[in-house]
Homo-oligomer: A and B are copies of this chain.
Amino acid sequence: MSLDNAKRRQLAKIRQRTLPSIQEFVSAILDGDLAMLSRAITLVESNKPAHHELAQQIVNACIPHSGNSIRIGITGVPGVGKSTFIESFGTHVTSQGHQLAVLAIDPSSEVSKGSILGDKTRMQELSTNSKAFIRPSPSTGSLGGVANATRESIVLCEAAGFDIILVETVGVGQSETLVHSMVDFFLLLMLAGAGDELQGIKRGIMEMSDAIAINKADGENIRKAKMARREYANAIHLFPPNANNWTPQVLTCSAMQKEGLGDVWNTIDQFVNQTKLNGWFEKNRSKQSLRWMHDTLGSFLTDSLYQNENMRQIIREKEYAVQHNELNPYQAAKELFASYLKMQS
Contacts and interface: CB of A to CB of B under 8 A. Distances in A.
A328 B67 CA distance: 11
Interface string A180-213: 0000000000000001110011111000000000
A318 B301 contact: no
Contact of A344 (B201, B286, B336, B345): B345
B323 A290 contact: yes
Contact of A329 (B195, B197, B289, B336): B289
A201 B300 CA distance: 36
A108 to B, nearest CB: 11
Contacts of A60: 328, 330-331, 334
A274 interface: no
Interface stretch (A13-21, A35-43, A125-133, A291-299): A291-299
Given A333-B297, A333-B300, A328 B63 contact: yes
A204 B173 contact: yes
A1 interface: no
28 contacts: A60-B328, A63-B328, A63-B330, A64-B328, A173-B204, A195-B197, A196-B197, A197-B197, A197-B201, A200-B202, A286-B323, A289-B322, A289-B323, A289-B328, A292-B330, A292-B333, A293-B332, A294-B333, A297-B333, A298-B302, A300-B333, A300-B337, A301-B301, A301-B302, A301-B305, A301-B340, A341-B344, A344-B344
Interface of A: 56, 59-60, 63-64, 152, 173-174, 195-197, 200-204, 286, 289-290, 292-294, 296-298, 300-302, 304-305, 318-319, 322-323, 325, 328-334, 336-337, 340-341, 344-345
